[in-house]
Structure 1
Amino acid sequence: MFPNKLTPGYNLMWESSRMMLPEHREQLLEARREQMEFRYPVLDDDQLMEINRLIVESIEEERAVAITYAEKYGPVEFWGWIQKVNPYEERLKIVNDEDALILSFKRILSVKIS
């Protein structure tokens, strides 16, 4: 038996409209992108104090850190040494063997000393 439009699992949602306007397609894709976007968690004061303590400790002891920070589609981890902290612009610069990252304090989710 050959599948037809009434066969379960065979594209019933779009069967009636084989052609789709570009505007409608873009709306569907935008809705999917919005669902995939990462929502920043709100850190409490204890978590912020711990992040601050670990950053200060890594600078004083010149140890590498692994920082997890928020990107558009999820958390990302970057490791390296903290080279510069700018409290006025609320940013820090992390450098490793291959790359450098300038990161806003607001995007930091967690810090681990390596």
Structure 2
Amino acid sequence: MKKLQGNGLWESSRMMLMEHRDAIIHRSMESKHKQIPIIDEQKKEEINQILLQAFQEKMEIKISYFHEKDFTTMTGMITCLDTVKQRIKIYDNWIECNLIQECLL
């Protein structure tokens, strides 16, 4: 038997366990998920103004936000605005303001 150079494994001992194969597949699937984009301060301020206006005037709003490694869209009225924790409530869903990418009145 011939030794591989550098790592000391035997040539005949190369194989892949099912757990290793599953881990490689899982890692490649995770890399396909979207990353949350960074929003500049001007866009954040614009989003905050629209959220505040929609809450004060009881208007329906459509938001696009990052949820569980992908973008989700929701339409509804903001029932609660939590300025301390920086989040809004639409129906029974709490959405963090820093995850909101776009909002329309």
TM above 0.5, one fold?
Answer: yes
Unaligned runs of 5+ residues in structure 1 are 1-18
2:78 touches 2:90 (CA, 8 Å); kept in 1?
yes
The structure 1 residue matched to 2:103, chosen from 99, 106, 111, is 111
**Cα RMSD between the aligned structures?**
1.6
The DSSP-based 3-state class of the residue aligned with 2:35 is coil
Distance 2:69 2:82 in 1: 26
1:40 alignment counterpart: 36
The structure 2 residue matched to 1:50, chosen from 42, 46, 70, is 46
What is the TM-score of this pair, normalised by structure 2? 0.77
Unaligned runs of 5+ residues in structure 2 are 1-14
Shift, 1:72, TM fit: 2.7
Aligned length: 91
Matched, 1:27 2:20: no
Following superposition of structure 1 onto structure 2, how do residues 60-99 of structure 1 map, counting pairs within 5 Å? 60-95=56-91
What is the TM-score of this pair, normalised by structure 1? 0.72
2:87 touches 2:95 (CA, 8 Å); kept in 1?
yes
